Amino acid sequence: MVDPVRLLEQKGLKITPQRCAILNFLQQTTGHPTADQVAEYLNRDLPMTSRATVYNTLNTLRDVGLISEVTHEPGVLRYDANIGRHHHFICKTCGRLDDLDWEMFGKLPVEQITSQYGRVDQVEVIVRGICRECQPD
């Protein structure tokens, strides 16, 4: 958990309540909220924060690399402050998105793909299934 003010300063961005709140929220939550869920949360701390600002702010933070976008479900864009290496589990029933530990998958054949494609920046594993809470019983 890093101080939002510090992060923003490092990137040369102005410190605003909205940005700090969004960074805090994304760092605290383990879920991967959509822009709308971020907006909803923001309106509790900072009432009347406009949706447009939430979208703009998320894009700004993404552009400087403080957060990342996740898109594994059609039409749903989620955000994540965890920019380290990790994989994802998606529940097909409730839609929850959990992080999976990077080590779990051992050594992935990155060199082989690199030699084939020239350059590889990211390797991610997506697991789709049904989480414990959504099991029939």
Partner DNA sequence: CTTTGTGCAAACGATTTGCAGGATG
Partner DNA sequence: CATCCTGCAAATCGTTTGCACAAAG
Binding site for DNA (CB under 7 A): 13-19, 34-36, 46, 48-53, 55-57, 59-60, 75, 77
Q: Cα separation of 122 and 84, whole Å?
A: 11
Residues that bind a copy of itself (CB under 8 A): 69, 71-75, 77, 89, 92, 100, 104-106, 108-109, 112-114, 117-132, 135
Provide CB contacts within 8 A for 118, sequence distance 6+. none
CA 1 remoteness from chain centre: 14
Q: Which of 91, 69, 71 lies closest to 80 in space, CA to CA?
A: 69
Binding partner selected for residue 121 from DNA, a copy of itself, none, CB under the kind-specific 5 to 8 Å limit: a copy of itself
Binding partner selected for residue 52 from DNA, a copy of itself, none, CB under the kind-specific 5 to 8 Å limit: DNA
Query: Residue type at 63?
Result: D
The minimum distance between CB 123 and a copy of itself, in angstroms, equals: 5
The minimum distance between CB 120 and DNA, in angstroms, equals: 26
Q: Cα separation of 33 and 27, whole Å?
A: 11
The minimum distance between CB 74 and DNA, in angstroms, equals: 8
Please answer whether residues 99 and 90 qualify as being in contact, where contact means their C-beta atoms are separated by less than 8 angstroms: no
Binding partner selected for residue 30 from a copy of itself, DNA, none, CB under the kind-specific 5 to 8 Å limit: none
